[in-house]
């Protein structure tokens, strides 16, 4: 009998990690995510300690690793896994494998720079230096282990364990993971939703419905509510941009380099093509997002048919034609030069939850200005700077300075790349015979709401595991 251990993204939205152990002793790790922000269950303690803590398994004992998509909260500890001796294959979709190189090398660079910065302060305080969680060399080791698998193909990742990836519609290369376990003459099927996409998101296809499973792991990031209508959200964004232009300020948009940024560029391009974009300067201040754009453009076959045909219908074949006012910045000097612009600019920069990156530098120059606007197009995890601003903080600490929050703050939940409550329920309702259902990747309060709603609508009791819980598959 196979066993599944719930390790990460349990009653929280980051650090996705689950360990599958078969009857013959093979171990397969599903996800190897980094914890970001602060864990609601731990109060104010930073999650860096969790990312540095020993894995609850020996990395050398793993037969395979399976990754649903490239976001750091699902893949970010892969370099540490390789650093500690894992040498087996890392399975992901083909386009996810491309994005992993971008994401993990960037993350490793951040780890090195954060450690360097921290050690400068430690030296002044007489404290011993720290090492980065992992280095770029570690990331390169992990990247050599990638094995790209196309959607719909089945691969045996361990003895009697077969994995099939289905389109999750979340970001490029994102997958629903179907795992068949064949042992002792029986076949059991585990389905992990990964992060399911919002059916209103641009570019991506609708998540693939599945009908057969014995155990289902369902994400619950937005388990407590539905997203606002997409048309209304776009109209609100257009009105924000118009008002910002009248106010004489800039528009700051914190966005994940992979997924959210491409959605925003698509929408801003539509506004431009339709003559509805008042700003004449759109800055993409994220070298990683610019490289992600190139990867997206190499995989347009994964785009939804509707959006791909809309782009073709405008006669544009290049990003420079789709959104001609877009300017990408590569160097720190180019990034800093943006802050000389006081009006009429849209600035898209990472990180998406404002935990670091170039967006915090733009906050320093714009957050205290009443004429400026800040648009949050996605979920802000507990304990992040973005969450504090969204919840109405009058001032926040930015780059070791206290900054007043006087800019107008907007949240656009309709832009989320995650499925809303009704979409989650619709996707899981396709399963026959109500398999065992476990809610993961969500804050506890949101899980509780989704659990009650599943019971009311489908008469289906979902389980909410605790960290470290083990179940038989």
Helix (H) or strand (E) holding 374: strand 373-376
244 close to 372: Cβ distance less than 8 angstroms: yes
76 close to 138: Cβ distance less than 8 angstroms: no
Mean pLDDT by 10 residues, the chain (473 residues): 96 96 96 77 62 96 98 97 98 98 94 93 94 97 98 97 97 97 94 94 94 98 92 94 97 93 94 96 95 93 90 83 94 95 96 88 96 91 89 93 96 87 98 98 97 98 98 96
**Residue whose pair of structure tokens reads 């011993």 in the numeric block:** 128
**Could you give all domains of the chain from N- to C-terminal order, each with its CATH number?**
3-225+417-472 (3.60.15.10), 235-415 (3.40.50.10890)
Phi, psi for 358 (deg, rounded to 5)? -75, -20
Phi, psi for 284 (deg, rounded to 5)? -100, 95
175 close to 92: Cβ distance less than 8 angstroms: yes
215 close to 473: Cβ distance less than 8 angstroms: yes
What integer pLDDT is reported at residue 166 of this predicted model? Answer: 98
DSSP state of 342: -
Three-class DSSP category at 445: helix
245-249 contact pairs (CB < 8 A, 24+) = 245/278, 245/279, 245/344, 247/371, 247/372, 247/373, 247/408, 248/342, 248/343, 248/344, 248/371, 249/342, 249/343, 249/366, 249/369, 249/370, 249/371, 249/372, 249/373, 249/407
Taking the C-alpha atoms of residue 28 and residue 202, their distance in angstroms, rounded to an integer, is 33
Taking the C-alpha atoms of residue 311 and residue 129, their distance in angstroms, rounded to an integer, is 52
DSSP state of 226: P
What six digits make up the tokens of 280? 């004449």
Taking the C-alpha atoms of residue 195 and residue 207, their distance in angstroms, rounded to an integer, is 10
What integer pLDDT is reported at residue 46 of this predicted model? Answer: 63
Three-class DSSP category at 99: helix
398 close to 363: Cβ distance less than 8 angstroms: yes
Those residues whose C-beta lies under 8 Å from the C-beta of residue 153, and which sit 6 or more positions away, are 164, 165
What six digits make up the tokens of 371? 């004429």
**Beta-strand pair 401-404/373-376:** unpaired
pLDDT tens digits for range 105-151: 999 998 999 899 899 999 999 999 999 999 999 999 999 999 999 99
Taking the C-alpha atoms of residue 98 and residue 284, their distance in angstroms, rounded to an integer, is 21
264 close to 240: Cβ distance less than 8 angstroms: no
**Residue whose pair of structure tokens reads 């993409």 in the numeric block:** 284
CA 461 distance to own-chain centroid: 28
382 close to 443: Cβ distance less than 8 angstroms: yes
What integer pLDDT is reported at residue 37 of this predicted model? Answer: 66
C-alpha neighbours within 13 Å on the C-beta side of residue 39? 22
Taking the C-alpha atoms of residue 56 and residue 240, their distance in angstroms, rounded to an integer, is 47
């Amino acid at each position: 009998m196979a066993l599944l251990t719930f390790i990460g993204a349990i009653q929280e939205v980051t650090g996705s990690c689950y360990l599958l152990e078969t009857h013959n002793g093979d171990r397969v790790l599903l996800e190897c995510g980094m914890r970001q922000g602060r864990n609601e269950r731990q109060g104010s303690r930073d999650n860096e300690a969790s990312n540095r803590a020993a894995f609850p398994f020996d990395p050398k004992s793993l037969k395979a690793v399976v990754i649903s998509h490239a976001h750091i909260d699902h893949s970010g500890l892969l370099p540490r896994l390789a650093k500690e001796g894992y040498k087996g294959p890392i399975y992901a979709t083909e386009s996810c494998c491309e994005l992993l190189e971008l994401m993990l090398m960037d993350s490793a660079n951040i780890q090195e720079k954060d450690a360097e910065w921290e050690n400068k302060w430690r030296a002044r305080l007489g404290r011993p230096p720290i090492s980065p969680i992992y280095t770029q060399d570690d990331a390169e080791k992990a990247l050599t282990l990638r094995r790209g698998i196309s959607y719909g193909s089945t691969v045996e990742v361990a003895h009697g364990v077969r994995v099939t990836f289905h389109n999750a519609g979340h970001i490029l290369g994102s997958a629903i993971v179907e795992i068949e376990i064949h042992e002792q003459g029986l076949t059991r099927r585990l389905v992990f939703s990964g992060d399911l996409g919002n059916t209103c998101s641009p570019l991506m296809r609708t998540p693939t419905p599945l009908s057969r499973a014995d155990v289902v792991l369902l994400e619950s990031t937005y388990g407590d509510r539905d997203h606002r209508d997409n048309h209304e959200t776009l109209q609100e964004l257009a009105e924000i941009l118009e008002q910002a232009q009248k106010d004489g300020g800039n528009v700051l948009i914190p966005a994940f380099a992979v997924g959210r940024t491409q959605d925003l560029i698509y929408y801003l391009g539509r506004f431009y093509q339709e003559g509805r974009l008042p700003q004449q300067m759109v800055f993409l201040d994220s070298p990683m997002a610019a490289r992600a754009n190139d990867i997206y453009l190499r995989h347009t076959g994964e785009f939804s048919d509707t959006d791909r045909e809309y782009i073709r219908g405008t006669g544009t074949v290049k990003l420079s034609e789709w959104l001609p006012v877009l300017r990408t910045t590569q160097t720190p000097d180019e990034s800093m030069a943006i802050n000389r612009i006081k009006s009429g600019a849209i600035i898209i920069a990472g990180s998406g939850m404002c935990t670091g990156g170039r967006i915090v530098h733009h906050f320093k120059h714009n957050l205290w200005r009443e004429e400026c606007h800040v648009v949050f197009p996605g979920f802000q995890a507990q304990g992040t700077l973005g969450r504090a601003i969204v919840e109405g903080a009058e001032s926040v600490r930015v780059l070791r300075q206290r900054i007043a929050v006087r800019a107008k703050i907007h949240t656009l939940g309709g832009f989320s790349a995650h499925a809303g409550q009704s979409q989650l329920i619709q996707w899981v309702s396709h399963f026959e015979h109500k398999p065992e259902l476990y809610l993961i990747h969500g804050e506890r309060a949101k899980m509780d709401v989704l659990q009650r709603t599943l019971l009311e609508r489908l008469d289906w009791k979902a389980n909410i595991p605790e960290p470290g819980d083990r179940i038989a598959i």
